[in-house]
Amino acid sequence: MSLTTPYYLIDKSKLLANMEKVARLRELSGAKALLALKCFATWSVFDFMRDYMDGTTSSSLNEVRLGHERFGKETHAYSVAYADYEIDEVVSHADKIIFNSIGQLDRFADKAAGIVRGLRLNPGISSSSFDLADPARPFSRLGEWDVRQVEAVMDRISGFMIHNNCENGDFDLFDRMLGTIEEKFAPLLKKADWVSLGGGIHFTGENYPLEKFAERLKRFSGAFGVQVYLEPGEASITKSTTLEVTVLDTLNNGKHLAIVDSSIEAHMLDLLIYRESAKISPNTGPHRTMVCGKSCLAGDIFGEFNFETELKVGDRLSIQDAAGYTMVKKNWFNGVKMPAIAIRELDGSIRTVREFTYADYEECLS
């Protein structure tokens, strides 16, 4: 294969490992699993994922339309706020609509009368270690929390979405928080038909107690008589994808530096937002090098890694775990070449599903 870097490479064999865990959890727990499109919306592999999941959940009109048209099955619509001009189209694509507030429910309940309606609840607790991503942060706009106010609108809704797990690989923490939710919202949960517990639960991770997790979900479902939904984003696609890059230049400014033909601000924005390092495997050897992006942003740095040999111009690197919140956030900062998207099939063959050109850059502007 001669595809020019940079490109995202989705490995179906690694994606399959996650999908099999999703399917196993569905079987053991009775919960349904919806792909969170805010994390991963590369529809070229939806036909592959469709057999293992129940549908999609969205955060906008564009996402709910993509889920309906490209994934099919159940399509849940959620948004922090819907505009008047988009609500009719949102409803036309969705099986369920989840309103963020009672105000939005009051405004659009009649428009959504033909589909299942729900409301987001905010339990006031979360697993997030980042204030930026904490849905339960002080003065949060994400969901309702007053039981009495929600009780007053139960005649217009049949279920709830509660998203308070963020990168949570700790089952005991999940268990404790769910216990708090059960205690705080019991009067509401007893009147519901369905409850989505959102995403952010890393149940496809290594050594995660999948059976205990399934049993806890089943117990929650039975206690309140509800259909449980999960919205795995990162859990669906973790470790399935790499960002393939090439070294363009090397220099030493007190440290060994290597500049590659990609950029964290343009291609892996979450690394910049959360000040995290990329992952390169095996990350061993005597030659420690800072891998840098090619944009003009001074902090455009993938991280520092160890290599067996000194990096030189033309060397290829694979940035690991590059599926979640990458392709959905990629941008044209500095006009840096947009990574193509390729898929490694189960038989090992690689096919390119999308390449981006100057025309794409030009047409996204005015």
Give the 3-state secondary structure of residue 339: coil
Burial class (CB in 10 A: 0-12, 13-18, 19+), 234: buried
Burial class (CB in 10 A: 0-12, 13-18, 19+), 351: exposed
| pLDDT tens by residue, 175-194 | 999 999 999 999 999 999 99
Average pLDDT over residues 351-365: 96
**Residue given tokens 């193509």 in the structure block:** 340
Are the CB atoms for 293 and 300 separated by under 8 Å?
A: yes
**Does residue 1 carry a pLDDT above 90?**
no
Are the CB atoms for 292 and 319 separated by under 8 Å?
A: no
The CA-based diameter of the chain, rounded to the nearest angstrom, is 67
Average pLDDT over residues 12-29: 98
Task: Report pLDDT for 105.
Answer: 98
Mean pLDDT of the chain: 97
Task: Report pLDDT for 31.
Answer: 98
| Distance of alpha carbon 349 from alpha carbon 24, whole angstroms | 27
How many other CB atoms sit within 10 Å of the CB of residue 135? Answer: 22
Please name the amino acid found at residue 138: P
- Determine if the pTM surpasses 0.85: yes
User: Pairing mode, if any, of strands 301-307 and 316-319?
Assistant: unpaired
Burial class (CB in 10 A: 0-12, 13-18, 19+), 290: middle
Average pLDDT over residues 286-298: 98
Are the CB atoms for 32 and 227 separated by under 8 Å?
A: yes
DSSP E strands, 221-286: 227-230, 241-252, 256-260
Please name the amino acid found at residue 315: D
- Where would I find the H helices in the chain? 12-29, 46-49, 61-66, 87-93, 102-108, 147-151, 171-189, 210-224, 234-237, 264-267, 269-273, 358-363
Helices 12-29, 210-224: crossing angle, 10 deg rounding: 40
| pLDDT tens by residue, 124-152 | 999 998 999 999 999 999 999 999 999 99
| pLDDT tens by residue, 45-82 | 999 999 999 999 999 999 999 999 999 999 999 999 99
Band of residue 2 on the pLDDT scale cut at 50, 70, 90 = confident
| Distance of alpha carbon 198 from alpha carbon 78, whole angstroms | 11
Give the contacts of 349 (CB within 8 A, at least 6 positions apart): none
Residue positions counted in the chain? 366
Q: In Å, how far from its chain's centre is CA 258?
A: 30
